[in-house]
Amino acid sequence: MKKKALITGVTGQDGAYLARFLLDQGYQVFGAYRRSATLDTSRLDYLGITDDVEFVAFDLLEFSNIVRTLEQCKPDEIYNLAAQSFVALSFEQPLYTSDVDGQGVLRILEAIRLLGMEKSTKFYQASTSEMFGKVKETPQTEDTPFHPRSPYGVAKLFAHWANINYRESYGLFGCNGILFNHESPLRGLEFVTRKITHKLAHMATHGGEPLELGNMEAKRDWGFAGDYVKGMWLMLQQDNPDDYVLATGQTYTVKEFVNLSAAALDIQLDWVGEGVNTQAINRKSGEVVVKVNPEFYRPSEVDLLLGDSSKAKSQLGWEPETTLSELVTMMVEADLKRVSKI
Residues known to be catalytic: 128, 130, 152
User: Which is it for strands 28-33 and 243-246: parallel, antiparallel or unpaired?
Assistant: unpaired
Cα–Cα distance, 274 to 80 (Å, whole number): 41
Cα–Cα distance, 219 to 221 (Å, whole number): 7
Cα–Cα distance, 79 to 295 (Å, whole number): 35
Residue 159's contacts (CB-CB under 8 Å, 6 or more residues apart) are 101, 102, 104, 105, 106, 125, 127
Cα–Cα distance, 39 to 107 (Å, whole number): 23
Are 236 and 122 a contacting pair, CB within 8 Å?
yes
Q: If you count them, how many residues does the chain have? A: 342
Bridge-partner residues for 30, per DSSP? 6, 54
Cα–Cα distance, 28 to 44 (Å, whole number): 15
Q: Is the peptide bond before 94 cis (omega within 30 degrees of 0)?
A: no
Cα–Cα distance, 238 to 39 (Å, whole number): 34
**Helix segments in the chain, DSSP class H:** 13-24, 42-47, 63-73, 87-92, 94-98, 104-114, 151-170, 192-206, 225-235, 254-264, 310-316, 324-339
Are 202 and 289 a contacting pair, CB within 8 Å?
no
Are 5 and 31 a contacting pair, CB within 8 Å?
no
Cα–Cα distance, 144 to 89 (Å, whole number): 26
Q: SS in 3 state form for 172-232?
A: CEEEEEEECCEECCCCCCCCHHHHHHHHHHHHHHHCCCCEEECCCCCEECCEEHHHHHHHH
Bridge-partner residues for 183, per DSSP? 224
